[in-house]
C-alpha cells in the first residue's frame, strides 16, 4: 500500500516539471480544437477511445504491453494458492447471474492480494461522452483492459454487471470532514465521512483545509494530511482556504502549488472581520493564482451587508434559524458572485464559485459564461435537493440542521432551477459541502442564530439525488450525469483522465449503477454520524449497487467494507487545461501599450497636493508584494513572451484605437439586441 | 434669497415686461402634444388655450407652429468645482449661461464637501456661489464623502430645512471619497428613512486602484491609462453592488453617469426585477466614445478624462441612446465639469492626477435630439421626458418644472428641429479650450429660451442676468419614487418563529476567535445604533409611514410576510424544464 503510494508520488514528481513547462512547449503540440465545457485534455485520446481492434478481435486485447506487464506483476508472494482457490471458485460460478463473491468475511480476508484483480463483465460503460458495452479488467487499482472477451489471468474475481451501467466513481469536490470549529469537530471525521461517500458511490473526496487566520497554511495542510492519511477510506485531495493574505501566505501558496499538490484555493467574501477578504486582496490573490496556474474558489456572499442585516435581525428580536436566511438574502450571494467574476475577469484568472445556492447566483454565472468568462459553478447536494422553507420549522433542531452559508433559498422552485442549469452545462460540478454537526453542537447558537455552526450533510446522497432530480426527470442523460458528478471535477483538478473516466490506465474507481433501486433517505440508516438528515424522508431512485474503489470491492450486496487509512492523497498539478487553455490564450492578447506622445510642454496649473490625489499612492500600502509577481509571471509563461520583444510599440504600428486592449470579442459575441438603428 | 422679480440687478433694457404671450405653438409635454397659445406672467404660466384674454401691451412671440417644450433640466453639473486648489473653469455664471444657450433652464449641481468638512457649511458655500452667479434656477445634490454620526444629522437637517432630497455616495476614489459596503448600507438606510434619493458614483474603487498601479508600473502614464485602469466591468460591478444594497435597504437608487453598455444592462435588468433604480447617461456618453483617449494630442486626450471613463467601444453611444429611448434609462445630465488644458496638465506625467470632467451642459438637448429623435428612436414627447420631466419627477419638482401647465414655472423652450449647427470650442459658451464634441454636426436647437418668464435666448443672442437664478428647494418622499418604496416597506416586516425553548444538550465552546460578525462589525460602523434599524430610525420611519402601522396578522406563524414577494412583472423562469 505504502509502496504504491510512494510510486504515485514519484511519478507525479517526475510529471511536475513537465506540467509546469508545458506552456512553453505548447507550440510543438499539434493544435487541438476545444471549446465549451468538454474541451479535450491533452493526452486523453489514447486511453479515451476504446481499442476497437481489441474489442472486435478479442484475442488481440492482451497484445498490449500493459497487460503483459501486469501478468508478470500478478505473481508475487503467497497469493498463488488462494488464487487457485478462487479460480476454481470462479470457474464454477462463471455462468451465474450475479456476482461471484462468497461473503463479506471472505472478501475482507482477501483484502490485499486477490481482489487486486477484478473483472467487471457485461457492463454498459458510461463516460461523459459516450456509453458502450464492454468488460473491464483491473489490477493493482488501475484499469488494465477494456473490451469484449478480454484475456485475463485465471483466478480473478468477476463481477457480473448484467448490462447495468458502470460509471466512474463520483468525485465529491467539496467536503469538510473533521473540521475543527471553536474547539469542537464536525461529527463526521475522515473515516466516517469517506465511508458515507463510498456508500453513495463517491470514490474520491476533496476536502477543504481551513487554516486559522494568522496561522501557517502549510502547517494546516500537513495537519489535514495527517488526519486524512490515517482515516480516509477512499482517495482524497485537498483545497486550501486562504483566510488571510500577506507576503508569507503568498510564499506558502506558491509552495503548496508547486510542491504539495494543491491547485485550488478558496477565498471568502463573507465572514466579516474573520475570513473576509477586501476587494484589493481578492485582486492580488486572483492575480497571483492566475499567474501560478491555480484555481480560485470563492465563497460568495457580501459579508459586510450580512453583518448589517444580522445586527438588524437580532435587534428585531429574531434569534432563531430563520434569522440566518433572512439576514443572507440571495441577492447578497448574487452580488458577491458578480463581484468575484468582475475581479476574475480583470485579473484573467479562472474562477470557481463554491456552493451555488440560489437562482440569482446561478443566473449570474450562466450570464458570465455566455460573455466568455472562465467561471465554474458548484451547486451542492443540499441546494439541488431541498429548499430553505425548513428554516421556519417549529422544531429548532430541525431548522438548525439546515443552517449553511449561503443559506438554502426559501424559494421552493430553486432546486429544480439549479438542476436545470446543471443539465444545461451552465453549472458544471457538484459537491456536497458535507459538514455535519450534532444537534448539541448546533445548539451553541440556540439563542443567537449567528452562532449556529454552519453545514449540512450530502456526501452520501449526492449521486442518487442528482440521478433522481436530473436524470429520472429527463433533464440530463447518463453521460451528463457522469460529467457533473465526476468528469468535470477531475478536469478542473487536473486529475483527468486518471479520475473521472473509465479508460485503460485510469484508476479503478468505479460504480455499478442501478437506476431502478429506490431508497428512502433517513438519518436512521445513513452512514453519517449526524442526527439529522436534511433530505429526511426523500425517496430517491437510482443508487450504486457495487462500488469499486482502488480496484477493491467496497460496496456489494448492500454491505460496506471499508478500510480506514487506505485512501491516498492525490496531488493536483497547476494549470489544468480545462480552465487554463482559454486563460493562456487571453493573456497573450491582454498586453497593454502606451501611446507615444511628444512631451506636453504647455502651461501647468498649480495645484495643492490635497486629499483628492489619485489613488495609487494610497493603495500601495495594501499590496507590498507586487514586484515579484510580475517576475514569476514572466518566467512561467514563456509563451506570452516579453512584450518588448514581440513588437516594440513603434510609432507607425501604434493603434489609435485600443487594439491591444482586451475588448476582445468574447466567444459567442456580445449581444446587442436593443440596437435600433 | 428667493423672490421673483429681478428687475433691479443689472438693467437689461430688452426685458420690457414680465408678461409674455406665445401664440400658435405646438405644446409638447411628455404625454401629449397639442396646439395652443400660452400666456405667462411673473414667471408663471397663467393660461393655456386658444383665444386667450390677455392684458394689452404684452410682448408676443409667434411660434408659427413650432414645438414649445418645458425647459431642460440638467440633473448633473459641477460648476465652479474645487479640485486640489484649482476650480473648474466654468463657474455658475458661465455654466448656467451655457446651459441656457442649449435650452436648459434649470441645473442641479453637486455639492462636494471635503472629507472631514461639514456638509452644511459646504452646502452654504455652494448656495452662496450659485446665488450670486447663477442665471437660471438651480438646485443642489449633496455628496456624502465620509460617514459618521454627524453626517447623518446633517443629512437630516439638509432634507428638513434646506430642500435637499438627493445624496451622492462614491464607490470609487479609494481612500478619498470611497465608502465601504457597510457604510453604503447605512447611508442608504438613512436616506430611505429621510425620503431622499440615493445617488451612486458606481465604480469599484479597490479594483481601479489596483489597476492604476499596475498600469503605471507598465509605464503607461498618458490619458489612455485612465480608461485602461477603469474597464467597464468595474463600473457594471459597482452598479450591481449598489443595486443589491438598495434592494436590501429598500432605498431608491439613482446611478449617475452611466457610461458603458454593461452598466446600462445591469440597470435594465434590475428594473425588470422590480428594483427602484434610475440611470443617468450623460451628454458625453450619449454623444462620443473613448477612442480619443488614444489621441496623439495629449491635451485632446486629456480633455476626455472623466470617471467612469467613456467606453472605447464605439457602439456605446448608440446603445445608450436606445436604452434611453425604451425607458430603461430615464434621465440625462451633462456632468459638466470643465478644466483647462493647463489644469489638466497637472497630470501630464501621471494620468491618475488629471482632473476629471467633460463639458456637455450646452450640447445636451441638441445632442439627444440629434441622436434619438432624428434617428427615430424616440418621439418628441419622450424627448421631453428624458430631458426634463423625468428629472422633475424623480427630484420632486414636478409639475412646477418639467411640464407646461397652468401654474408651472415659465421655463420654456421653443425648439427648432431643422436648424443644424456644428459644435466647436470656438463658438461654445463654456470657458473651456476644448470641446469633446468638436466638429459634431447636430440637428435641432432652441430658437427661443424663456427662463422665469423672461426671454433669454432670441435670434441667436443670449441675454442673461447674473445672479437671478433661484434656489429651488426639493421636498422628500417624491411620489414618483416613493410610492413603490412605501408599499414595499409595508410588506417587508420580518418576524421570528415562535418556538419552545431548545432544552437539549449544548456543546461546550472554547472562546476562540470564531465569533461571528455582528459583534465585531460594530466597531467599523460608529453610527450603527442610529443608522441601520436602531430604535430612533425605526421611529422616524414609522412616523413617515403611518400606513404601515400595526399588522392584523401579527401572530401568524409562518413567513407569509417575508419579502419573497413576487416583483412586479414576475420573475422570469424560462429555463425551467420540469
Mean pLDDT, residues B237-255 taken together: 94
User: To the nearest whole number, what is the mean pLDDT of chain B?
Assistant: 85
Per-residue b/e over B306-323, b at no fewer than 16 CB within 10 Å? bbbbbbbbeebbbbbbbb
Contact between A595 and B296 under an 8 Å Cβ cutoff? The reply is yes
Q: Using one digit for the tens of pLDDT, what is the confidence trace for B103-142?
A: 999 999 999 999 889 999 999 999 999 999 999 999 999 9
Strands B82-83 and B44-49: unpaired
Q: What is the pLDDT of residue B5?
A: 43
Residue of A nearest to B234 (CA): A342
Q: How confident is the model at residue A153 (pLDDT cuts 50, 70, 90)?
A: confident
Task: Give B182's contacts in chain A (Cβ within 8 Å).
Answer: 272, 304-305, 307-308
* CA gap A641, A645 in Å, rounded: 7
* Of residues B208, B217, B376, nearest to A615 (C-beta): B208
Sign of the torsion formed by the C-alpha atoms of B158, B198, A622 and A305: positive
Q: How confident is the model at residue B503 (pLDDT cuts 50, 70, 90)?
A: confident
Q: Using one digit for the tens of pLDDT, what is the confidence trace for B148-171?
A: 999 999 999 999 999 999 999 999
Q: How confident is the model at residue A602 (pLDDT cuts 50, 70, 90)?
A: confident
pLDDT at A581 over 70: yes
Binary contact (A308, B224; C-beta < 8 A): no
Judged by DSSP in three states, B61 sits in strand
Binary contact (A441, B206; C-beta < 8 A): no
Higher pLDDT among residues B568 and B319, named by residue: B319
Contact between B346 and B353 under an 8 Å Cβ cutoff? The reply is yes
* CA gap B158, B148 in Å, rounded: 16
Q: What is the pLDDT of residue B510?
A: 66
pLDDT at B323 over 70: yes
Q: What is the pLDDT of residue B262?
A: 93
**For the purposes of burial, counting CB atoms within 10 Å of the CB of B11, is it exposed (0-12), middle (13-18) or buried (19 or more)?**
exposed
For chain A, the C-alpha Rg in angstroms (whole number) is 26
Please indicate if any CB of chain A lies within 8 Å of the CB of B554. Answer: no
* CA gap B288, B318 in Å, rounded: 9
Mean pLDDT, residues A643-670 taken together: 41
* Of residues B294, B342, B521, nearest to A605 (C-beta): B342
The percentage of chain B sitting over the pLDDT mark of 70, rounded to a whole number, equals 85
Binary contact (A421, B517; C-beta < 8 A): no
Task: Give B215's contacts in chain A (Cβ within 8 Å).
Answer: 592
Residue of A nearest to B269 (CA): A364
- B31 CB contacts (<8 Å, ≥6 apart)? B381
Task: Quote the cell numbers at residue B101.
Answer: 444657450
Mean pLDDT, residues B366-377 taken together: 94
Q: Using one digit for the tens of pLDDT, what is the confidence trace for A311-353?
A: 999 998 999 999 999 999 999 999 999 999 999 999 999 999 9
pLDDT at A609 over 50: yes
Binary contact (B299, A602; C-beta < 8 A): yes
* CA gap B69, B33 in Å, rounded: 9
Residue of B nearest to A282 (CA): B207
Residue of B nearest to A328 (CA): B248
* CA gap B335, B350 in Å, rounded: 23
Q: How confident is the model at residue A61 (pLDDT cuts 50, 70, 90)?
A: very low
Higher pLDDT among residues A49 and A620, named by residue: A49
Q: What is the pLDDT of residue B17?
A: 58
Contact between B309 and B259 under an 8 Å Cβ cutoff? The reply is yes
* CA gap B432, B437 in Å, rounded: 12
Residues 433-492 of B with CB under 8 A from A: none
Binary contact (A444, B234; C-beta < 8 A): no
* CA gap A417, B393 in Å, rounded: 39
Contact between A349 and A290 under an 8 Å Cβ cutoff? The reply is yes
pLDDT at A624 over 90: no
pTM: 0.76
pLDDT at A597 over 90: no
Q: What is the pLDDT of residue B47?
A: 93
Please indicate if any CB of chain A lies within 8 Å of the CB of B181. Answer: yes
pLDDT at A675 over 60: no
pLDDT at A48 over 60: no
Higher pLDDT among residues A633 and A141, named by residue: A141
Higher pLDDT among residues A613 and A184, named by residue: A184
Residue of B nearest to A443 (CA): B506
**For the purposes of burial, counting CB atoms within 10 Å of the CB of A361, is it exposed (0-12), middle (13-18) or buried (19 or more)?**
buried
Phi and psi at residue A515, to the nearest 5°:
-75, -10
Contact between A8 and A499 under an 8 Å Cβ cutoff? The reply is no
Binary contact (A661, B228; C-beta < 8 A): yes
Per-residue b/e over B169-178, b at no fewer than 16 CB within 10 Å? bbbbbbbbbb
Binary contact (A626, B213; C-beta < 8 A): yes
Judged by DSSP in three states, A203 sits in strand
Please indicate if any CB of chain A lies within 8 Å of the CB of B308. Answer: no
Residues 229-248 of B with CB under 8 A from A: 231, 233-234, 236-237, 240-241, 244-245, 247-248
Binary contact (A672, B315; C-beta < 8 A): yes
Higher pLDDT among residues B506 and A517, named by residue: A517
* CA gap B101, B448 in Å, rounded: 9
Residue of A nearest to B270 (CA): A331
Please indicate if any CB of chain A lies within 8 Å of the CB of B163. Answer: no
Q: What is the pLDDT of residue A595?
A: 82
Q: Using one digit for the tens of pLDDT, what is the confidence trace for A439-449?
A: 999 999 989 99
* Of residues A183, A313, A394, nearest to B497 (C-beta): A394
3-state SS track over B377-401: CCCHHHHHHHHHHHHHHHCCCCCCC
* CA gap A385, A403 in Å, rounded: 15
* Of residues A306, A338, A592, nearest to B215 (C-beta): A592
Task: Give A411's contacts in chain B (Cβ within 8 Å).
Answer: 564
pLDDT at A292 over 80: yes
Q: What is the pLDDT of residue A99?
A: 43
* CA gap A345, A374 in Å, rounded: 8
Binary contact (A283, B210; C-beta < 8 A): yes
Mean pLDDT, residues A42-56 taken together: 45
Bridge partners for A548 per DSSP: A510, A553
Q: What is the pLDDT of residue A174?
A: 95
Q: Using one digit for the tens of pLDDT, what is the confidence trace for B472-486?
A: 999 999 999 999 998
Q: What is the pLDDT of residue B18?
A: 80
Higher pLDDT among residues B499 and A187, named by residue: A187
* Of residues B297, B510, B514, nearest to A274 (C-beta): B514
Q: How confident is the model at residue A659 (pLDDT cuts 50, 70, 90)?
A: very low
Strands A295-299 and A351-356: parallel
pLDDT at B548 over 70: no
Mean pLDDT, residues B212-236 taken together: 93
Binary contact (A326, B494; C-beta < 8 A): yes
Mean pLDDT, residues A278-301 taken together: 94
Q: How far is A47 from chain B (nearest CA, A)?
A: 35
Q: How confident is the model at residue A192 (pLDDT cuts 50, 70, 90)?
A: very high
Q: What is the pLDDT of residue B511?
A: 57
Please indicate if any CB of chain A lies within 8 Å of the CB of B31. Answer: no
Q: What is the pLDDT of residue A590?
A: 72
Alpha helices in A102-233 (DSSP H): 104-110, 190-199, 217-231
Contact between B565 and B490 under an 8 Å Cβ cutoff? The reply is no
Q: What is the pLDDT of residue B527?
A: 36
* CA gap B79, B88 in Å, rounded: 7
- A326 CB contacts (<8 Å, ≥6 apart)? A309, A313, A318, B494, B562
Please indicate if any CB of chain A lies within 8 Å of the CB of B297. Answer: yes
Q: Using one digit for the tens of pLDDT, what is the confidence trace for A408-420?
A: 999 999 999 999 9
Q: What is the pLDDT of residue A665?
A: 41
Binary contact (B212, A616; C-beta < 8 A): yes
Task: Give B174's contacts in chain A (Cβ within 8 Å).
Answer: 615, 618-619
pLDDT at B565 over 70: no
Please indicate if any CB of chain A lies within 8 Å of the CB of B382. Answer: no
Please tell me the total number of residues recorded for chain A in this structure: 677
User: To the nearest whole number, what is the mean pLDDT of chain A?
Assistant: 78
Residue with cell 460540478: A429
Distance of CA A661 to CAs A346, A644, B231, Å?
Answer: 12, 16, 10
Alpha helices in B251-294 (DSSP H): 261-272, 283-287
Binary contact (B204, A342; C-beta < 8 A): yes
Q: Using one digit for the tens of pLDDT, what is the confidence trace for A103-137?
A: 333 444 444 444 478 999 999 999 999 999 999 99
Binary contact (A342, B233; C-beta < 8 A): yes
Alpha helices in A101-177 (DSSP H): 104-110
Residue with cell 421636498: B475
Contact between B280 and B75 under an 8 Å Cβ cutoff? The reply is yes
Q: What is the pLDDT of residue A311?
A: 93
3-state SS track over B524-576: HCCCHHHHCCCHHHHHHHHHHCCCCCCCCCCCCCCCCCCCCCCCCCCCCCCCC
Task: Give A621's contacts in chain B (Cβ within 8 Å).
Answer: none
pLDDT at A559 over 60: yes
Contact between B122 and B114 under an 8 Å Cβ cutoff? The reply is yes
Q: What is the pLDDT of residue A167?
A: 95
Mean pLDDT, residues A228-251 taken together: 94
Phi and psi at residue A674, to the nearest 5°:
-85, -5
pLDDT at B86 over 80: yes
Among B282, B319, B184, B192, smallest CA distance to B239 is for B184
Residue of A nearest to B233 (CA): A342
Task: Give A212's contacts in chain B (Cβ within 8 Å).
Answer: 513
Judged by DSSP in three states, B104 sits in strand
* CA gap B544, B548 in Å, rounded: 9
Q: How confident is the model at residue B488 (pLDDT cuts 50, 70, 90)?
A: confident
Q: How confident is the model at residue B316 (pLDDT cuts 50, 70, 90)?
A: very high
Alpha helices in A203-350 (DSSP H): 217-231, 247-255, 279-292, 303-315, 322-326, 330-347
Q: How far is A231 from chain B (nearest CA, A)?
A: 24
Bridge partners for B137 per DSSP: B106
This complex has an ipTM of 0.74
Q: What is the pLDDT of residue A92?
A: 34
pLDDT at B11 over 50: no
pLDDT at A499 over 90: yes
Mutate to test the interface with B, among A331, A595, A620, A669 (most CBs of B within 10 A): A595
3-state SS track over A483-540: HHHHHHHHHHCCCCCCCCCCCCCCECCEEEEEEEEEEECCCCCCCCCCCCCCCCCCEE
Amino acid at each position: 500500500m505504502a509502496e504504491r503510494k510512494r510510486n504515485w508520488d514519484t511519478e507525479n514528481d517526475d510529471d511536475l516539471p513537465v506540467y509546469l513547462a508545458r506552456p512553453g512547449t505548447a507550440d510543438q503540440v499539434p493544435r487541438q480544437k476545444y471549446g465549451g465545457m468538454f474541451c479535450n485534455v491533452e493526452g486523453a485520446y489514447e486511453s479515451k477511445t476504446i481499442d476497437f481492434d481489441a474489442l472486435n478481435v478479442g484475442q488481440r486485447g492482451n497484445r498490449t504491453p500493459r497487460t503483459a506487464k501486469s501478468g508478470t506483476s500478478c505473481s508475487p508472494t503467497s497469493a498463488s494458492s488462494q488464487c487457485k482457490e478462487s479460480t476454481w471458485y470462479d470457474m464454477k460460478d462463471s455462468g451465474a447471474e450475479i456476482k461471484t463473491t462468497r461473503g463479506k468475511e471472505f472478501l475482507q480476508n482477501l483484502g490485499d492480494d486477490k481482489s487486486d484483480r477484478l473483472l467487471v463483465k457485461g457492463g454498459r460503460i458510461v463516460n461523459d461522452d459516450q456509453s458502450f458495452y464492454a468488460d473491464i479488467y483491473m489490477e493493482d487499482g488501475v484499469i488494465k483492459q477494456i473490451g469484449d472477451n478480454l484475456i485475463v489471468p485465471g483466478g480473478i474475481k468477476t463481477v457480473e454487471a448484467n448490462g447495468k451501467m458502470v460509471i466512474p466513481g463520483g468525485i465529491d469536490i467539496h467536503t469538510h470532514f473533521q473540521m475543527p470549529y471553536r474547539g469542537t469537530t464536525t461529527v463526521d471525521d475522515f473515516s466516517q465521512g469517506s465511508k458515507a461517500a463510498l456508500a453513495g458511490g463517491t470514490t474520491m473526496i476533496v476536502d477543504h483545509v481551513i487554516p486559522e487566520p494568522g496561522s501557517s497554511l502549510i502547517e494546516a495542510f500537513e495537519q489535514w494530511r495527517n488526519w486524512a492519511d490515517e482515516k480516509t477510506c477512499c482517495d482524497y485531495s485537498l483545497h486550501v482556504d486562504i483566510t488571510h493574505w500577506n507576503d508569507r501566505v503568498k510564499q506558502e501558496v506558491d509552495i503548496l502549488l508547486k510542491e504539495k499538490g494543491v491547485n485550488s484555493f478558496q477565498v471568502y467574501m463573507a465572514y466579516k472581520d474573520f475570513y473576509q477578504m477586501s476587494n484589493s486582496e481578492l485582486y492580488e490573490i486572483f492575480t497571483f493564482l492566475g499567474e501560478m496556474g491555480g484555481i480560485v474558489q470563492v465563497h460568495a456572499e457580501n459579508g459586510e451587508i450580512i453583518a448589517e442585516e444580522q445586527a438588524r435581525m437580532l435587534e428585531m428580536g429574531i434569534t432563531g434559524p430563520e434569522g440566518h436566511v433572512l439576514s443572507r438574502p440571495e441577492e447578497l450571494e448574487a452580488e458577491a458572485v458578480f463581484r468575484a467574476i468582475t475581479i476574475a475577469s480583470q485579473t484573467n484568472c479562472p474562477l470557481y464559485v463554491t456552493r451555488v445556492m440560489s437562482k440569482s447566483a446561478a443566473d449570474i454565472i450562466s450570464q458570465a459564461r455566455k460573455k466568455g468568462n472562465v467561471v465554474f459553478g458548484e451547486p451542492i447536494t443540499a441546494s439541488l435537493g431541498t429548499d430553505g422553507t425548513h428554516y421556519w420549522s417549529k422544531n429548532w433542531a430541525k431548522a438548525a440542521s439546515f443552517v449553511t452559508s449561503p443559506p438554502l433559498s426559501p424559494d421552493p422552485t430553486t432546486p429544480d432551477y439549479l438542476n436545470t442549469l446543471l443539465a444545461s452545462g451552465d453549472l458544471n460540478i457538484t459537491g456536497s459541502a458535507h459538514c455535519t454537526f450534532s444537534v448539541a453542537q448546533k445548539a451553541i447558537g440556540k439563542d443567537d442564530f449567528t452562532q449556529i455552526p454552519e453545514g449540512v450533510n450530502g456526501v452520501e446522497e449526492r449521486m442518487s439525488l442528482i440521478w433522481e432530480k436530473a436524470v429520472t426527470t429527463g433533464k440530463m442523460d447518463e453521460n451528463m450525469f457522469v460529467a457533473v458528478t465526476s468528469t468535470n471535477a477531475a478536469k478542473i483538478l487536473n486529475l483527468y483522465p486518471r479520475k473521472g473516466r473509465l479508460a485503460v490506465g485510469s484508476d479503478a474507481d468505479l460504480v455499478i449503477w442501478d437506476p431502478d433501486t429506490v431508497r428512502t433517505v433517513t438519518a436512521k440508516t445513513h452512514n453519517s454520524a449526524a442526527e439529522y438528515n436534511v433530505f429526511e424522508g426523500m425517496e430517491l431512485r437510482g443508487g450504486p449497487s457495487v462500488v469499486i474503489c482502488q480496484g477493491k470491492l467496497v460496496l456489494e450486496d448492500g454491505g460496506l467494507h471499508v478500510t480506514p487509512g487506505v485512501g491516498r492523497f492525490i496531488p493536483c498539478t497547476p494549470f489544468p487545461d480545462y480552465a487554463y487553455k482559454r486563460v493562456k490564450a487571453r493573456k497573450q492578447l491582454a498586453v497593454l501599450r502606451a501611446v507615444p506622445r511628444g512631451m506636453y510642454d504647455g502651461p501647468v496649473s498649480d495645484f495643492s497636493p490635497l486629499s483628492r490625489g489619485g489613488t495609487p499612492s494610497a493603495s500601495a500600502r495594501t499590496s507590498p508584494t507586487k514586484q515579484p509577481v510580475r517576475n514569476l509571471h514572466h518566467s512561467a509563461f514563456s509563451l506570452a513572451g516579453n512584450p518588448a520583444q514581440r513588437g516594440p510599440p513603434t510609432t507607425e504600428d501604434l493603434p489609435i484605437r485600443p487594439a491591444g486592449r482586451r475588448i476582445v470579442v468574447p466567444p459567442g459575441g456580445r449581444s446587442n439586441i436593443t440596437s435600433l438603428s | 434669497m428667493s423672490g421673483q422679480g429681478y428687475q433691479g440687478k443689472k438693467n437689461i433694457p430688452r426685458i420690457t415686461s414680465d408678461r409674455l404671450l406665445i401664440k400658435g405653438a405646438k405644446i409638447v409635454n411628455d404625454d401629449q402634444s397639442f396646439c395652443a397659445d400660452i400666456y405667462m406672467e411673473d414667471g408663471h404660466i397663467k393660461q393655456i388655450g386658444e383665444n386667450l384674454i390677455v392684458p394689452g401691451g404684452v410682448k408676443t412671440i409667434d411660434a408659427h407652429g413650432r414645438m414649445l417644450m418645458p425647459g431642460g433640466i440638467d440633473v448633473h453639473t459641477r460648476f465652479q468645482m474645487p479640485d486640489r486648489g484649482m476650480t473648474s473653469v466654468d463657474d455658475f455664471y458661465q455654466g448656467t449661461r451655457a446651459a441656457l444657450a442649449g435650452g436648459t433652464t434649470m441645473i442641479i449641481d453637486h455639492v462636494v464637501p471635503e472629507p472631514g468638512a461639514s456638509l452644511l457649511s459646504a452646502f452654504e458655500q455652494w448656495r452662496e456661489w450659485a446665488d450670486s452667479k447663477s442665471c437660471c434656477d438651480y438646485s443642489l445634490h449633496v455628496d456624502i464623502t465620509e460617514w459618521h454620526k454627524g453626517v447623518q444629522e446633517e443629512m437630516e437637517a439638509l432634507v428638513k430645512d434646506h430642500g435637499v432630497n438627493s445624496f451622492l455616495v462614491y464607490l470609487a476614489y479609494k481612500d478619498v471619497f470611497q465608502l465601504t459596503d457597510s457604510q453604503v448600507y447605512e447611508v442608504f438606510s438613512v436616506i430611505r428613512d429621510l425620503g431622499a434619493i440615493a445617488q451612486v458614483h458606481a465604480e469599484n474603487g479597490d479594483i481601479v486602484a489596483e489597476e492604476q498601479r499596475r498600469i503605471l508600473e507598465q509605464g503607461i502614464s498618458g490619458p489612455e491609462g485612465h480608461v485602461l485602469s477603469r474597464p467597464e466591468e468595474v463600473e457594471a460591478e459597482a452598479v450591481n453592488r449598489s443595486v443589491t444594497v438598495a434592494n436590501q435597504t429598500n432605498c431608491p437608487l439613482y446611478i449617475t453617469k452611466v457610461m458603458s453598455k454593461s452598466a446600462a444592462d445591469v440597470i435594465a435588468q434590475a428594473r425588470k426585477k422590480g428594483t427602484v433604480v434610475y440611470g443617468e447617461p450623460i451628454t458625453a456618453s450619449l454623444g462620443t466614445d473613448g477612442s480619443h483617449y488614444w489621441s496623439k494630442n495629449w491635451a485632446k486626450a486629456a480633455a476626455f478624462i472623466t470617471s467612469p471613463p467613456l467606453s472605447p467601444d464605439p457602439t456605446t453611444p448608440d446603445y445608450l441612446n436606445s436604452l434611453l429611448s425604451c425607458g430603461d434609462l430615464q434621465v440625462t445630465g451633462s456632468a459638466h465639469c470643465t478644466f483647462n488644458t493647463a489644469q489638466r496638465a497637472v497630470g501630464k506625467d501621471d494620468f491618475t492626477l488629471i482632473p476629471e470632467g467633460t463639458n456637455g451642459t450646452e450640447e445636451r438637448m441638441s445632442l439627444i435630439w440629434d441622436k434619438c429623435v432624428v434617428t427615430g428612436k424616440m418621439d418628441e414627447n419622450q424627448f421631453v421626458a428624458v430631458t426634463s420631466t423625468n428629472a422633475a419627477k424623480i427630484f420632486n419638482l414636478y409639475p412646477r418644472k418639467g411640464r407646461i401647465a397652468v401654474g408651472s414655472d415659465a421655463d420654456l423652450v421653443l425648439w427648432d428641429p431643422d436648424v443644424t449647427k456644428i459644435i466647436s470650442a470656438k463658438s461654445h459658451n463654456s470657458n473651456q479650450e476644448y470641446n469633446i464634441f468638436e466638429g459634431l454636426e447636430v440637428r435641432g436647437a432652441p430658437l427661443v429660451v424663456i427662463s422665469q418668464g423672461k426671454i433669454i435666448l432670441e435670434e441667436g443672442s443670449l441675454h442673461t442676468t447674473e445672479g437671478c437664478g433661484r434656489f429651488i428647494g426639493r421636498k422628500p418622499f417624491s411620489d414618483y419614487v416613493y410610492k413603490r418604496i412605501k408599499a414595499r416597506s409595508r410588506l417587508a416586516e420580518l418576524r421570528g418563529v415562535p418556538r419552545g425553548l431548545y432544552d437539549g444538550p449544548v456543546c461546550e465552546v472554547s472562546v476562540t476567535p470564531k465569533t461571528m460578525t455582528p459583534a465585531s462589525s460594530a466597531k467599523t460602523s460608529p453610527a450603527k445604533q442610529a443608522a441601520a434599524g436602531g430604535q430612533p430610525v425605526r421611529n422616524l420611519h414609522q412616523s413617515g409611514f403611518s400606513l404601515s402601522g400595526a399588522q392584523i396578522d401579527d401572530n401568524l406563524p409562518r413567513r407569509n410576510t417575508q419579502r419573497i414577494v413576487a416583483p412586479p412583472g414576475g420573475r422570469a423562469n424560462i429555463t425551467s424544464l420540469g
